[in-house]
Amino acid sequence: MPPARGLHAHVLDTLGQRIVDGALEPGTVVRPELVADEFGVSRSVVREALRVLQSLGLVEPRQRVGTQVLGIGSWELLAPTVIRWRGASPAYFVQQRELLELRLGVEPVAASLTAGGSGASAVLDAAQDMLAACAREDSRAYLEADVRFHRALLTGSGNAVFAHFAGTVEALLRTRTSESRDTITRWTREAALRHEAVGRALVAGDGAAAAAATTALVGVTRDEFIAEAPQG
């Protein structure tokens, strides 16, 4: 039998994915005893999973009713766990568009703050690692360099809220590795060059150019996802 922590993670992931997929609709009452029977786990494991789901806004215990599933308006949509579940759901393209639109408002400002600072070189280094990974056709190394790029861009701003947002961006980037419904998962040299343009502007200390290059970078990605999204 898997360790207790593994059982908890399995129950949590399965219930969370069912809620995000819509298999458990808003208003549905989750019966701990039925969940425990389905997964062959103790009620304490189920309660722990439900507590996490509650903290993420997916369920809420109600007196004389039980634990009810909540709608998307209550979810912690920037939480990495929720992003991962939505990334594996029919909402994949919707989530990408929504968060890319948010990133368009955040990352250019972060770039203008990072320009000329001590974190600028880390951004450029990550971009150049993306180019090298692209030349080797190493998608894993490309992704890891991409994650480092955006984390360095956001943390280099010196803004604690932007730095916290780095976890959201990383989770979003990682949902692309398992997506097979479109062609956007391909890592391209053109995209890496757009990242490098941001890094070079940052190292040069040109905040306006860095912000403009970041707007172009995120904007092109947003437009690609809109173009790739299924119609109807």
Strand order of the β-sheet with 29-30 is: 29-30, 66-69, 59-62
The one-digit pLDDT tens for each residue of the chain (232 residues) are 344 468 899 999 999 999 999 999 999 999 999 999 999 999 999 999 999 999 999 999 999 899 999 999 999 999 999 999 999 999 999 999 999 999 999 999 999 999 999 999 999 999 999 999 999 999 999 999 999 999 999 999 999 999 999 999 999 999 987 655 444 445 789 999 999 999 999 999 999 999 999 999 999 999 988 888 887 5
The CA angle 173-231-181, to the nearest 5 degrees, is: 40
pTM for the whole structure: 0.89
Q: How far apart are CA 158 and CA 218, in angstroms?
A: 21
Cβ contact 153:214 at 8 Å? yes
pLDDT at residue 197 in the model: 98
Q: Which fold has domain 4-74?
A: Arc Repressor Mutant, subunit A (1.10.10)
pLDDT at residue 5 in the model: 62
Q: Where are the domains of the chain?
A: 4-74, 80-228
Q: How far apart are CA 82 and CA 174, in angstroms?
A: 13
Q: Which fold has domain 80-228?
A: Four Helix Bundle (Hemerythrin (Met), subunit A) (1.20.120)
